[in-house]
Amino acid sequence: MSKLKLAPPEKVDKVLQGWLTMGGRKAIDLFAGPGGLSLGLVQSGFEVVGAVEWDRAASRTYAYNLGNHVFQQDIEEFSPQKMEEALIENGSINSKDEIDLISGGPPCPAFSLMGRSKISNLIKSGKWEGSDYRHSFIDDPRVKLFVNFVDYVNHFNPRIFIMENVSGMNSFKEEDKGKVRPIIDVIKSEFNRIGYSVKSLTLNAAEYGVPQNRKRVIFLGWKPDHVEPNFPQPVEYSISSRDAIHDLPNISPVDGSTLLGNQKSLPKKGSHRGDFIRWCRQTKAPNSPRKGPLLHHTRAVNPRDQAIFPILRSGENSKRVLYKDVQMSAVRKNLPLGYRLREFKTVPNRVEGPKWGRQKRTKWKFYDQKKFGDKMRRIRGDQPSPTIVAHLAKDGYMFVHPDENRTISVREAARFQSFPDSYDFSAGGQNSITDQFRQIGNAVPPIFAKAIGTELMKIFE
């Protein structure tokens, strides 16, 4: 009789730890950004063993908060075979069969309104090229990232996959050989081709406890011989933007720094608002320091905007006032001492600073109010925030604070995305404020991801 061979104790400990603490369900996160989807999956019981993100700043944030299993690579060059080899080499898996879930949101400009106009221009100019035998959508070089996602699913053959994308995908159609097909059907057919059943649904993160109206198309794919996963059920409450940030200290509009004063005390348990605040202040990312910086800072408000912001109204308690509604007479009254408004008929109006000796006056031009009517707008405090976007990296004019005359801070944007306060988007001071805003705008809300992940874990139970 042959003797029973036992695995080394250290290997047994590692396997048991994985199964007991993480449910033994391993996942790979593609186009991972700063890690919002990964954090939600971890919170729901998955073990994310590998992630791919090409942006250096986002990769730094991911590694700093979630661990060194992220590969800062261009996914077009980092094939699924290379991922498999790397995960086996570092001991995360023994074979690719251990991967139960592939997740990610391949960026595709074709699904945005801007992307559609560019495609239209390419077609009109005759610059649309391609030879793929399937359809023009797959042939678009900018959709190559979606094909990479399919390749990863095909290679690892996971039990489930999640794919997330913008809601604009719903109204996007492609014409191929005289036939018009919804892009969602095209995408599903690609996964059907590699042996997966797929369903999709547009979900709003605000309906899952996130203080932000953020609509996304979620694709769930599964092997026909496995249990069909379900979409999570919406909660029966919503968190308003003011509820999400009311405990944070005030910020100086002059330089964008946090004013002296501590956060308000934690609310009592029992209210949805209180539960959200407790999540933000007490949840820790797996790799983040026990106490990180709050990152509650924003851009300084220039004299022109100091005069405009007090005029803006969200519509919460009075008629909404956008940038297009701002009257120059009101601006003149709000200007800081020593500054003046210059109005012109043929060139943009501007605010000019005081003149000091031979030094030239500092000038701030106005945007065209007809072309950029909603350039500046205040967030309603009694409703979830509007969709946080990566454009925050350039300016925060679409996100003027509900009550203060400034744009939102890094931490407030992160709160609207439901990230815990311990999540450091600066990666310990390595990333600029511009990088931080861009990452937050591109991220998946962790609480939203957790709701999806929790529902998926049920099929393994």
| pLDDT tens figures, 318-331 | 999 999 999 999 99
The CA-atom distances, in angstroms, between 460 and each of 154, 163, 295, 369 are: 21, 19, 38, 55
396 in the same domain as 322? yes
Q: Report pLDDT for 4.
A: 38
Q: Confidence band (pLDDT; 50, 70, 90) for 264?
A: confident
pTM of the model: 0.87
Domain interval for residue 210:
14-236+445-460
pLDDT 10s digits, 100-118: 999 999 986 555 443 444 4
The reply to whether 294 falls in a domain is no
Q: Are residues 141 and 230 in the same domain?
A: yes
In the predicted model, is pLDDT for residue 459 greater than 80? yes
Q: Establish if 454 belongs to a structural domain.
A: yes
Residues 6+ positions from 114 with CB-CB distance below 8 Å: none
- The structure tokens listed for 286 are 């797996």
pLDDT of amino acid 8: 46
pLDDT score of 123:
44
% the chain with pLDDT above 90: 71
Residue predicted with more confidence, 138 or 262: 262
Q: What is the per-residue pLDDT across 294-310, written as a single tens digit (0 to 9) for each?
A: 899 999 999 999 999 99
Structure tokens at 281: 């202040």
Asked if residue 17 has pLDDT above 60, the reply is no
Number of domains in the chain: 2
Tell me: do 311 and 202 sit in the same domain. Answer: no
Higher-confidence residue of 294 and 150: namely 150
The answer to which of 150-164, 277-291, 387-401 has the lowest mean pLDDT is 277-291
**Lowest-confidence segment of 100-104, 289-293, 388-392 by average pLDDT:** 289-293
Q: 56 falls in which pLDDT band (50, 70, 90)?
A: very high
Does one domain contain both 60 and 200? yes
Q: What is the pLDDT of residues 199-214, one digit of tens each?
A: 999 999 999 999 999 9
Q: At 412, is the pLDDT very low, low, confident or very high (cuts 50, 70, 90)? A: very high
Question: Does residue 245 sit within a domain?
Answer: no
With contact defined as beta carbons under 8 Å apart, do 427 and 330 qualify?
A: no
- Of 59-68, 117-126, 171-180, where does the model show the most confidence? 59-68
Q: Is the pLDDT of residue 185 over 80?
A: yes
Span of 67-76, 190-199, 256-265 with lowest mean pLDDT: 256-265
Q: Does 213 lie in the same domain as 92?
A: yes
The confidence band for 162, taking pLDDT boundaries of 50, 70 and 90, is very high
Looking at residue 132, its pLDDT comes to 35
Give pLDDT, residue 16.
Answer: 39
pLDDT at 144: 75
pLDDT tops 60 at residue 287: yes
Check whether residue 76 and residue 28 sit in a common domain: yes
Residues 372 and 456 in one domain: no
Within this chain, do residues 222 and 308 fall inside the same structural domain, yes or no? Answer: no
> Which CATH number do you get for residue 136?
3.40.50.150
Q: Hey, which residues are catalytic here?
A: 108
> Same structural domain for residues 336 and 200?
no
> In the prediction, which pLDDT does 293 show?
73
- CB-CB contact of 388 with 36 (8 Å): no
Across 88-103, average pLDDT = 97
> Can you give the pLDDT at residue 133?
38
pLDDT score of 261: 63
What is the mean predicted confidence (pLDDT) over 171-195? 80
Can you tell me the distance from the alpha carbon of 433 to that of 189, in angstroms, rounded to the nearest whole number? 41
Is the pLDDT score of 174 beyond 70? no
Average pLDDT over every residue of 393-422? 96
Is there a domain that residue 265 lies in? no
* Same domain? 322 vs 220: no
User: pLDDT (tens digit, 9 = 90+) per residue, 343-366?
Assistant: 999 999 999 999 887 788 999 999
Q: What per-residue confidence (pLDDT) applies to 182?
A: 81
> In the predicted model, is pLDDT for residue 156 greater than 90?
yes
Confidence of residue 292 (pLDDT cuts 50, 70, 90): low
Looking at the structure, tell me whether residues 210 and 331 fall in a common domain. no
Residue 244 in any domain: the answer is no
**What is the pLDDT confidence band of residue 257, given thresholds at 50, 70 and 90?**
confident
In a domain, 427, yes or no: no
With respect to residue 229, please indicate whether it lies within any of the assigned structural domains.
Answer: yes
Q: 172 with 224, same domain?
A: yes
The per-residue pLDDT of the chain, averaged, comes to: 87
Residue 332 resides in a domain: yes
Q: Which pLDDT value is given to residue 140?
A: 58
